A = this chain, B = another copy of it.
Amino acid sequence: MVNNTIAIDAMGGDNSPKSVIAGLAISSVRNPGVEYIVYGDEKKLAPLLKNRVNLKKIVKVVHVEDWIRANEKASKSLRRAKTTSMGMAIEAVANGEAGAIVSAGNSGALLAMSIFGLRKLSGISRPALAAVMPTISGEIVALDLGANIDCSSQNLFDFSIMGVVFAKNVLGKPNPRLAFLNVGEEENKGNTIVQEAASLMQNSHFSNYYAGYVEGDKIISGDFDIVICDGFSGNIMLKTAEGTAKLCYAYLKKIFSSSVLGKISFAIGRSCFLGLRKKMDPRKHNGAVLLGLNGIVVKSHGGADSIGFAHAVDLATDMSKRNYNELIKKELNRINIS
């Protein structure tokens, strides 16, 4: 079944293809029944796959020597859609051979090639990058995180539809609460684009999910399941959160290693410190998904290790199995009918 087949760009990212194959080994245990078409250099892949007996049966390698470089311009990469690991993995989704594609490669190129190769879903003005972020009581899905620097109110409204379907089906929230990222909670705050998007939302059949504006410090409150924003402020939000978490952890390390009592406390509370580290581990939330195309595209962090890459593959698998795009189409049809 196509939905149980994931196309993998094995050559993108800093640690490829090693962390890619190791990541597949981890994800495949969590997702039995899933198969992978892996695009990359056979000479490099063969030794990595050699001793992974479990992968042998479920991995099909498609040999391709060329790959998109990390700093390559998106416009240049488009010309190599047929001859690169990234381009061919996207093509597998376009052809119906796979339900989703995962790549840790060049974001701009992945975005451009995916839009070109998979085309936008009919009724969606622009695709958007979405990711799941932790909150005090659970998780929140945020979009757009950088695919669209400038957005219209219609773009933000389209992101809202995709966000609601994601929260319902991937996060498992039957009645998700959606907020627009803004600089205040009052109705007159922010720019006209955000205000118009809020109004579109309030006047749609999705109005029940609308929960107002959210400020940067309340994203983690647990009061919301979806946060909608343009790609510029979304990217700032996501990355500031990452940076601040790193800062907190750096403070923690410094303080506990700089005194004898700190070291004893650390030794005794080791499991707690490890638990904290695990809880704050950004790898658990690795995988930004490009929503709004005829196919599921998951971007893994370029620096992801095997654990991070496995989470990105988990996300792609989950969305493919749940037929996420069919659910989006249903919601878009409801809008056209109403």
What is A's interface to B at a CB cutoff of 8 Å?
71, 134-136, 146, 149-150, 181, 183, 186, 190-191, 215-221, 229, 231-233, 235-252, 255-256, 259, 261-262, 264-266, 268-269, 271-272, 275-276, 279-280
Check B265 against A240 for contact (C-beta < 8 Å): no
B-chain residues with CB within 8 Å of residue A231 when the two chains form the complex:
183
B-chain residues with CB within 8 Å of residue A247 when the two chains form the complex:
134-136, 220, 245
Give CA–CA (A150, B216) in the complex, Å.
Answer: 18
Closest to A250 in B: B136
B-chain residues with CB within 8 Å of residue A265 when the two chains form the complex:
265-266, 268-269, 272
Check A248 against B250 for contact (C-beta < 8 Å): no
A280 touching B248 in the complex, CB below 8 Å, given contacts A183-B236, A240-B237: yes
Copies of the polypeptide in the assembly: 2
Check B242 against A255 for contact (C-beta < 8 Å): no
Give CA–CA (A235, B215) in the complex, Å.
Answer: 8
Check B232 against A191 for contact (C-beta < 8 Å): yes
A220 touching B243 in the complex, CB below 8 Å, given contacts A251-B276, A276-B255, A279-B251: yes
Taking the nearest CB of chain B, how far is it from the CB of A81, in angstroms? 21
Check A242 against B216 for contact (C-beta < 8 Å): yes
Check B243 against A183 for contact (C-beta < 8 Å): no
A217 touching B240 in the complex, CB below 8 Å, given contacts A269-B266, A272-B255, A276-B251: yes
B-chain residues with CB within 8 Å of residue A252 when the two chains form the complex:
252, 276
Interface of A is mostly: helix
Check B251 against A239 for contact (C-beta < 8 Å): no
Check B239 against A259 for contact (C-beta < 8 Å): no
Check B264 against A246 for contact (C-beta < 8 Å): no
Closest to A194 in B: B232
Check A149 against B190 for contact (C-beta < 8 Å): yes
Closest to A242 in B: B217
Taking the nearest CB of chain B, how far is it from the CB of A34, in angstroms? 32
Give CA–CA (A313, B191) in the complex, Å.
Answer: 32
Would you mind naming 30 contact pairs between A and B with Cβ atoms under 8 Å apart? A71-B186, A149-B183, A183-B236, A216-B236, A216-B238, A216-B242, A217-B242, A217-B243, A217-B246, A218-B239, A220-B247, A236-B236, A237-B237, A237-B240, A240-B240, A240-B244, A244-B248, A251-B279, A252-B252, A255-B275, A259-B271, A261-B271, A262-B269, A262-B271, A262-B272, A264-B269, A265-B265, A266-B269, A268-B268, A269-B269
Check A216 against B240 for contact (C-beta < 8 Å): yes
Taking the nearest CB of chain B, how far is it from the CB of A225, in angstroms? 16
B-chain residues with CB within 8 Å of residue A245 when the two chains form the complex:
244, 247-248
Give CA–CA (A248, B250) in the complex, Å.
Answer: 12
Give CA–CA (A249, B248) in the complex, Å.
Answer: 8
Known interface pairs A232-B233, A244-B244, A262-B269; 6 further A-B residue pairs with C-beta atoms within 8 A, sorted by A's residue number: A233-B236, A236-B240, A241-B243, A252-B276, A256-B272, A264-B268
Give CA–CA (A233, B243) in the complex, Å.
Answer: 15
